Structure 1
Amino acid sequence: MRRLGGRRQGVNELVHLLQLDEHQRRQWLDRRQPAAHERANWWLYLLLVIDQHLRDQSGRRADWAELKLWLLRQGRARGVFSEADSAEKLAYFAADTRRAGVELAVLPPADDIVRGCLDAIPVGLNEVAMLVGRRGLGGLDRTRMRHSRQAKKLVSAAQWHLDDVLDPHLAAQLREWIDIKPRLV
């Protein structure tokens, strides 16, 4: 896997990225994109390095959090992460950021986060595969199991934001998913 050029240099490059404007950041990403088969791991590495900075309790936590949010959005826009992966990563990132006491004006509201997660579920509430009683997975095909598992992951990510959702219809929709979550694959 192609790294940023060594751990120390990679960290230094990300520190430099904090100083750049939107256009310069995009150029930075354009110049460093690895081969297609390495892209996802490269992006995940960037996010991991940022997570390490977020844990260090430095005075720049807000800057690092804002950079991570920007990279998550860029990863989705550039097709590195799927809609579902992006929604899940954003939901957990926003919850972790708020729990850590880092208030960012750029974080999307809970309604947008929950809506993104629910919209990324590939099947409807009445179509999702659920376990019934003691019946195992034998009767489910792979696609239905994968969709059910994806629904479970997205609901788990979204439920961290339930208390902050303002739209009562959206909150009720999330509660319905939470109610069936134990029966999802």
Structure 2
Amino acid sequence: MSKQKLNAGFTLIELIIVIVVIGVLAVTAAPKFFDFGTAARTNAVKSMSGTLTEASKHIDAALQLPNRVIDVNGSLWLDVNGDGIIEADTISDQENPRNNVSRDIKLIKNDLGQLGPDNFEVAKMVSFSEDVIIEVGERHQTYIGFDRDDDGEIADDNCRVYFTQPINSRGTFVAHRTDGC
């Protein structure tokens, strides 16, 4: 009676095929799995959009309260903490909105005469990390986000929040784009 030898393992060909399959899966799945930067930027933009929307609602509500809008030398300010004292910026920095650090918010009127925050004051409404760029557009517009193409502007990138006061209606408008994050 002959005994047949039992194989107790894989052949070399089977091992090579398994290694190749695992390698192909790793090459296709790893970039998606390890791309944390895109997800982080996308979530940051969505978070900033929601935060600005809520801050805008808070400001709109505060504008309805008595004695919250105060005239200081011809400029209207929102007294954020309601203490009756405007902590105005000593110099309104029209180049870098982050330098406008007082608590109270300077207001401007839209074409219907309705008040809203000056676009240079948007940085006061919420806190932003240093990685985030604040770019002030025209009178009522502000872009907040990431400069993905390193050209110094974020309005042309699609990883940003857009904040504006509608010209012919009440309130503010906040939208975001994340397809460039």
TM-score normalised to the size of structure 2?
Answer: 0.24
Q: Which has the higher helix share?
A: 1
TM-score normalised to the size of structure 1?
Answer: 0.24
Q: Which has the higher strand share?
A: 2
Larger Rg: 2
